[in-house]
Amino acid sequence: MNPLPLQAAIVDLDGTLIDTVGDFDAALNTTLSELRLPPVDRAFITRTVGKGSEHLIRSTLAQVGADAALYERAWAAYQRHYLAINGQHATVYPGVRDGLQRLQAAGLPLVCLTNKPGAFARPLLAATGLDGFFRQVFGGDAFARKKPDPLPLLEACRALGTPPAATLMLGDSSNDAQAARAAGCPVVLVNYGYNHGRPVEEAAPDAVIDSLAALRWPGLPGGPAATLE
């Protein structure tokens, strides 16, 4: 494999930069309590997050045996509760700041691309002090389709002004890998995030790393592409 020198990077949010299961747990279960529905556990949440809040709410209602017609009420309540607690139960993963600093030091512009609504994503990045790393933040409502569709990555590349083949996707799930492959971007996945209960190796990324600080790629500080296959 002879990867192109990188010109930019696109970085996922939940499960890649920040462990947000605690926020999801608090907002979802407060919503369910308000609707007088039973709670869901963190194992379900971890398996289910990553495809956007709409999918999360519909899946949660199905999980607790609720009428799908409750979706609009549940969505409105979830938005209210999530915004109230956003970032209070979240933790930046080890190595994230070092990894982002290395990418910045290499002169790479960074975009955060997430399926999380932009109104949730931007305050979370600000609350954790990560917002300054990113030129732009695109939420799941920024484009007509979400990952794993390639459209968000192609639009992010357009915003960056870089070709997909020289724009690295950093994520934690098959959604990121599928979108990157379809868009023509190289992709590296972390092994600690939320991949619907499946090993990230099954998504066949270019590399799997246990920390953003462990990323190696031609032209990045730290040496050659030691983690690439």
Q: How far apart are CA 97 and CA 94, in angstroms?
A: 8
Q: Are 168 and 183 in contact (CB under 8 A)?
A: no
Residue 75 burial (C-beta neighbours within 10 Å; 0-12, 13-18, 19+): middle
H helical segments located in the chain:
21-34, 42-48, 53-63, 71-85, 96-105, 118-127, 151-160, 174-183
Residues serving a catalytic function are 12
Q: How many CB atoms lie within 10 A of CB 224?
A: 11
- Residue 58: both structure tokens together: 């519909």
